Amino acid sequence: MPGLEPERVDAVFAALADPTRRAVLSSLSTRPELTASRLAGELPITRQAVTKHLAALHRAGLVQARREGRETRYEVTPAPLADAMGWMAEVGGRWDERLARLAARARRDAGG
């Protein structure tokens, strides 16, 4: 895809490969600006584990952190997700074209 950085898409898919990170991202998408402590209260993992998952999501550009006094609040950054969805749409479109050509050829070969 023009203008799409493969490394960025790779980082998004790598970050989303983990079910806990997907759960963290899902929580943040419905309730922005949660803290690691609050997220840990909702998940069956420790605050330290949540912090490590948030760091992986941050490296992939999927969340951003904002200091508020003694707390760090996190929110989803949608642009990298849009890039990954664009990549999937492009690949899916290419497969749709191939399958359409294959179906047309099968109809021609069958005489219909």
Query: Across 2-6, 54-58, 79-83, which has the greatest mean pLDDT?
Result: 54-58
Q: Which domains does the chain carry?
A: 6-109 (1.10.10.10)
Please write the tens of the pLDDT for every residue from 64-98.
999 999 999 999 998 888 888 888 788 888 887 88
Please write the tens of the pLDDT for every residue from 7-40.
888 899 999 999 999 999 999 999 988 999 999 9
Quickly count: other Cβ atoms within 10 Å of residue 15's Cβ.
23
Residues paired with 71 in a beta bridge: 68
Record the pTM.
0.75
105 pLDDT more than 80:
yes
Question: E strands within 1-97?
Answer: 34-35, 63-68, 71-76
pLDDT tier at 4 (50, 70, 90 boundaries)? low
Question: E strands within 10-111?
Answer: 34-35, 63-68, 71-76
pLDDT tier at 104 (50, 70, 90 boundaries)? confident
